[in-house]
Amino acid sequence: MQPSMAPRTESVRSKRGSIVDAAIDRFGSDGYEHTKWSTIADDVGLGQTALYHYFESKAHCLLTIMRIELTQSLERFRRVTRVADPVEALRLAVHSAYEGTPRDALQRRILQNHVDLLSTPRPWEKEEQERQRSRALVREIEEAWTDLIARGVRSGEFTQRDPLMSARMVLALVVGVWRWYRPGGPHTLDQIGALNADAALRILE
């Protein structure tokens, strides 16, 4: 293995990925406030100065993690809701929100714990860019769920109600899990996904 032989872009990208992974593990287990930026530098074997080459601040890294999760969440939703039946699409959409690795679960908890960061402007340019992208993604996600519910209302599978309010209710149900879920509890994420998909359909039907 000769890392210095690898194309530079590839190497920068994978180092950035390693920093994001280390930050998810630290923010997820120790909490964002309690994590020192220097600890993440140590975790990935970089000096703090080198770390600033990738992220302009700890908040920039946090906002990047949030934007990544929002991007993946929208992609997941679009991938699983291609099926024609709105009931099946809704069930798959709710269920897919709990699929993935333990690190994916941490990433979703980190997003939910810091959503309020998105409501006020950031002092630095790259932080603010990630905040703006995240805000746009939050709106796109809300619209995607609203459209699916409206489709189910039109086809008569869901009861006629304000689809945006219904989407917000279902989303509250979906993300509320990250408040209390910890690995090793009495329910697996797969079971929680199935229970929440049933509950979401009861809200809509």
Contact positions vs a copy of itself (CB under 8 A): 30-34, 113-117, 119-120, 161-162, 165, 168-169, 171-173, 175-177, 179-180, 187, 192, 195-196, 199, 202-203, 205
What one-character DSSP code corresponds to residue 97?
A: T
Q: Closer to a copy of itself by CB, 1 or 180: give it.
A: 180
SS3 state at 41: helix
Whether the CB-CB separation of 103 and 93 falls below 8 Å is answered with no
Nearest approach in angstroms of CB 37 to a copy of itself is 16
CB of 191 to a copy of itself, least distance (A): 9
Cβ atoms < 10 Å from Cβ of 203: 16
Long-range contacts of 128-132 (CB under 8 A, 24+ apart): 130/60, 130/63, 130/64, 130/66, 130/67, 131/63
Nearer to a copy of itself, 15 or 158 (CB): 158
CB of 107 to a copy of itself, least distance (A): 14
Nearer to a copy of itself, 46 or 110 (CB): 110
Rounded Cα gap, residues 102 and 22, in angstroms: 13
* Closer of 150 and 192 to a copy of itself (Cβ): 192
Residue 202 CB, nearest approach to a copy of itself (Å): 5
